[in-house]
């Protein structure tokens, strides 16, 4: 769904298929509403100017509001509107959708679970072994290898990069210039919505992005540049296994 693999794992003894189905139904709803690849989606209709702002759904209004907030908080490095005027909210929708899906499981009473969509992750509690969740960071130059493994608990973790999908992220302040300085930026934050939106913006900043994350309270980052050189924020090491 949403053009990416999605994984849901619940380790509570009360785990059941109905709960997992509810999460996947929610992701299907999000995909049908926000996919720029689906002609019938609400965002596609907005881009074709077929519906007015007062006709937008509440979720669409929420995403546009959160996007403006993120744009302001990142000095303009996050912008869902392309230079051609087309809206693509995928840089914020994925993390938001995972976080909202986690709320579904929260509301159903589950305490221990893992939700991942395209490498962006939200976790609660413990894994099946009763330990904190272990997450691998891929080698962007050889994606079947793990360069770092971290443990997180009740947090979100997002990775922005160009090694799988190519140049799908751009710098709004220099939209015609490809992002080539760094190839991967992983951010750990208080939840996946926060981690994802700031990871996208920080990646667009180039080498300065990791410094931006390092100055955000409660956020930690690991960056790999085009030469394979890794840099991490001051407290990232405490998550590394």
Q: Where are the domains of the chain?
A: 6-239
Check pLDDT > 70 for residue 164.
no
Question: Where is average pLDDT lowest: 143-147, 186-190, 211-215?
Answer: 143-147
pLDDT for 175 equals: 59
Check pLDDT > 50 for residue 163.
no
Cα distances (angstroms) measured from residue 228 to each of 115, 119, 140, 182, 223: 29, 20, 9, 9, 9
Q: What torsion do the CA atoms of 61, 67, 69, 75 make, to the nearest 10 degrees?
A: -160
pLDDT for 167 equals: 42
- Cβ atoms within 10 Å, residue 226: 13
Residue 63 parent element (H or E): helix 58-73
pLDDT for 172 equals: 57
Which pLDDT tens digit goes with each residue over 39-66?
A: 999 999 999 999 999 999 999 999 999 9
Check pLDDT > 50 for residue 9.
yes
Q: Are the C-beta atoms of residues 123 and 150 closer than 8 Å to each other?
A: no
Q: What torsion do the CA atoms of 12, 122, 144, 127 make, to the nearest 10 degrees?
A: -20
Mean pLDDT of the chain: 92
150 SS3 class = strand
Helix axes 192-204, 90-107, angle to 10 degrees: 170
Check pLDDT > 60 for residue 71.
yes
Check pLDDT > 60 for residue 166.
no
Q: Are the C-beta atoms of residues 70 and 195 closer than 8 Å to each other?
A: no
Per CATH, the number for 6-239 is 3.10.520.10
């Amino acid at each position: 769904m949403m053009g990416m693999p999605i994984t849901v794992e619940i380790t509570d003894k009360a785990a059941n298929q109905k709960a997992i189905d509810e999460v996947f139904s929610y992701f299907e709803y999000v995909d049908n509403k926000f996919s720029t690849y689906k002609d019938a989606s609400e965002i596609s209709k907005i881009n074709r100017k077929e519906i007015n702002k007062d006709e937008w759904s509440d979720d669409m209004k929420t995403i546009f509001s959160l996007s403006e907030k993120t744009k302001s908080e990142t000095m303009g490095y996050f912008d869902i509107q392309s230079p051609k005027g087309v809206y693509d909210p995928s840089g914020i929708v994925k993390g938001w959708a995972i976080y909202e899906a986690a709320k579904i499981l929260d509301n159903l009473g589950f305490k221990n679970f893992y939700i991942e969509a395209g490498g962006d992750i939200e976790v609660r509690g413990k894994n099946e072994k009763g330990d904190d969740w272990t997450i691998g960071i891929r080698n962007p130059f050889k994606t079947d290898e793990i360069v770092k493994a971290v443990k997180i608990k009740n947090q979100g973790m997002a990775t922005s990069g160009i090694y799988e999908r190519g140049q799908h992220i751009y710098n709004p302040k220099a939209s015609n210039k490809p992002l080539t300085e760094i190839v991967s930026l992983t951010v750990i934050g208080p939840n996946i919505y926060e981690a994802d939106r700031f990871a996208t913006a920080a990646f667009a900043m180039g080498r300065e992005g990791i410094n931006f994350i390092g100055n955000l309270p409660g956020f930690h980052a690991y960056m790999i540049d085009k030469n394979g050189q890794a840099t991490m924020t001051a407290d990232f090491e405490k998550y590394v296994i």
